[in-house]
Chain A
């Protein structure tokens, strides 16, 4: 009897095994027929509802779409409610649906990492969403796994800021349409404590020392994330990748100099707190305990509310030793289009993307979310040049450098993080840390296959 049961169990297991082995492949046939449907170049624009711009005017002319069939677009966005992003997205979709009643949107918010994981899983299962509104560094993993389509033929990308588009160019193709550009770090200061921003690092240290006492700090920043290390690396003339864009170059004199600098401002000059993560730095700055903070453009709205006129925005000061401006990474928020969509949906999506990134909506984004636009025309607008905060942000962006989005970048981030923390915790020397970073990154690269 027991033998029979074991047989039954083994048959069940084998059956399940076989089912699963057949499983993933079953998803593929549905992809193949859909792929060739790269939407043919846009039909001649009929009516336009937007003042003339270089971008091909979005059309609501029915002839280019399928006959008024109801279409639902599932849009996954990384925009959350905290900074008003999700509300902005929903506003856009509502507007669009009002203009095109046959189109309904399902806007789903997912945190950045969750969005990446879920998109990969959903694609594997053959049921991806219809449109993504996400960060540029997702281009790497999604293209490696072949989950999204290139957009060179679908849109006129010359209308967008070059550095923005460059961020998602991999293997000679462009994989997303930029919505906003920036996401860069800059120097923010409390004018009560710091009337004029420092121009060089020597000035920074002097000013900060003047303010630092037992209860206050001159400078705070997120000491746990390598994102905050990279600008300084640029300031010392270093880069994380060699010229080929995929080989890590972390064990360099520039990296050692950067690590040493960060270590020294903490332990020698003592202008930063002993331990400080994002929330800690943020709290210290908001409570007026820190005079200066290095934070990103996403925090501008929040600080504007807290400080009002007292908020100052400037470039991260020039490194005295090299005379170079620190180069924070700029990246953007992009539309990405999953593989396997049918023609009708693709047409609607194309239209929606163009609608979202037209001048009117780009300027609306500037005012609502305090973010820099990706459309060239919008960037030159008065709205930005006259606002000191936005102008300061744009100034910083001009010396920024696009964040690499290749799959290998993940290895760099992962390699830098613990070593940076070790140096800042005074547990490793800068040289040892740089060497360790390099070996970790190299090991990681081999596992990518």
Chain B
């Protein structure tokens, strides 16, 4: 950040691109106030879910606006954790999601390499095809996917789900990785090959280490796709009680008319924990990675 004085201090707060400690205190106050309000808006609905989870009696709604209800208790949490199969669902989801992320990253890394480094017939078509897969309305695929899964005996197995998730996340992953690879000059690999390295070594030793940020993004994206998905899990795992992932499990808490709101909210909060941890750990990568891949347009 430049240490240059910002002489044009009369502009709107949004016009300062590299403000630093020289900003007037009024401006700083304004900026912080806006940010605090924004954070409140961002966090408030979540806080309300928390208050439903500590409110006894499955009362989703209440005229009481306070975030901590007068008769709050943690019973919903203990019930969910210890009396239901919640931990089992989380475990299932975790196992599937990590496997998906591993498979997905590998698939994307190799395929993006092909798109970035070679010009082969069908390349443009392939890239456009990948983009179009993002546009397919999911409802369209449910019935045929189920039929396909039964034919290939993928129903009720983790195998089917991991493959389905990886394939779902592949198009976006390839686009991001390809963009990132494009910013890394070919000369680096060529130099390595002149020195006698095989193509594989060049890929593994030169390109991949330089692409760590983009790989982290792809890992995160695969993770969240698999972690939060409901539709595919319902199609493939729908009839296997012991293999339920948490979205399917949470659905079970909703009855035809009655819903155990207390437990539902407690479970929702607990489910966010792994995602939040992952986001926090990788936030650095997230920001630089998402943009570096697109700088070249």
Tell me, yes or no, whether A and B come into direct contact in the complex with CB atoms closer than 8 A. yes
Q: A74-B239, A279-B61, A283-B61 are in contact. Are A82 and B147 (CB under 8 A)?
A: no
A283 touches B121 (CB 8 A): no
Contact of B135 with A by CB under 8 A: no
Q: A118-B238, A299-B258 are in contact. Are A124 and B121 (CB under 8 A)?
A: no
Closest to A113 in B: B256
Contact of A278 with B by CB under 8 A: yes
A80 touches B59 (CB 8 A): no
* Chain A residues within 8 Å of B251, by CB: 111, 114
Interface size range of chain A in the complex: 35 or more
Closest to A298 in B: B257
CA gap between A228 and B238 in the complex, in Å: 32
* Chain B residues within 8 Å of A286, by CB: 57, 59
* Chain B residues within 8 Å of A124, by CB: 143, 147
CA gap between A48 and B160 in the complex, in Å: 46
CA gap between A92 and B94 in the complex, in Å: 33
B62 touches A111 (CB 8 A): no
B253 touches A80 (CB 8 A): yes
A129 touches B241 (CB 8 A): no
Contact of A418 with B by CB under 8 A: no
* Chain B residues within 8 Å of A127, by CB: 150, 155
Contact of B285 with A by CB under 8 A: no
* Chain A residues within 8 Å of B144, by CB: 20
Q: Which of A2, A81, A112, A278 contacts B253 (CB 8 A)?
A: A81
Shortest Cβ gap from B247 to chain A (Å): 12
* Residues of chain B from 46 to 88 with CB closer than 8 A to chain A in the complex: 57, 59-63
A5 touches B125 (CB 8 A): yes
A111 touches B256 (CB 8 A): yes
One digit per residue, 1 when the CB lies within 8 angstroms of any chain B CB and 0 when it does not, for chain A 93-137 equals 000000000000011111110100010011011110100000100
Contact of A23 with B by CB under 8 A: yes
Contact of B45 with A by CB under 8 A: no
Main secondary structure of the interface of B (DSSP, over half): loop
Q: Which of A9, A86, A106, A127 has most B Cβ within 10 Å?
A: A127
Closest to B146 in A: A121
* Residues of chain A from 65 to 87 with CB closer than 8 A to chain B in the complex: 74, 76, 78, 80-83, 85-86
Q: Which of A106, A111, A125, A302 contacts B146 (CB 8 A)?
A: A125
* Chain A residues within 8 Å of B253, by CB: 80-82
B60 touches A126 (CB 8 A): no
B122 touches A112 (CB 8 A): no
Shortest Cβ gap from B111 to chain A (Å): 17
A287 touches B256 (CB 8 A): no
A283 touches B62 (CB 8 A): yes
Contact of A141 with B by CB under 8 A: no
B121 touches A299 (CB 8 A): no
One digit per residue, 1 when the CB lies within 8 angstroms of any chain A CB and 0 when it does not, for chain B 134-158 equals 0000000011101100110001000
Q: Which of B59, B122, B155 contacts A283 (CB 8 A)?
A: B59
Shortest Cβ gap from A226 to chain B (Å): 15
8 smallest A-B Cβ distances: which pairs? A80-B255, A82-B255, A1-B121, A82-B258, A125-B147, A5-B122, A283-B61, A125-B150
New A-B contacts (11) at CB < 8 Å, excluding given A5-B125, A24-B147, A108-B238: A1-B121, A2-B121, A80-B252, A80-B254, A111-B254, A114-B234, A114-B251, A118-B234, A124-B143, A124-B147, A279-B61
Interface residues of A (CB under 8 A from B): 1-2, 4-5, 9, 20, 23-24, 74, 76, 78, 80-83, 85-86, 106-112, 114, 118, 121-122, 124-127, 129, 135, 278-280, 283, 286-287, 289, 296, 298-299, 302, 306
Interface residues of B (CB under 8 A from A): 57, 59-63, 121-122, 125, 142-144, 146-147, 150-151, 155, 234, 238-239, 241, 251-260
Enumerate 19 A-B pairs (CB-CB under 8 Å) in ascending A order: A5-B122, A5-B125, A9-B122, A74-B239, A82-B259, A83-B258, A86-B252, A106-B241, A108-B239, A108-B241, A109-B252, A111-B254, A121-B142, A124-B143, A125-B150, A278-B257, A287-B62, A299-B257, A306-B57
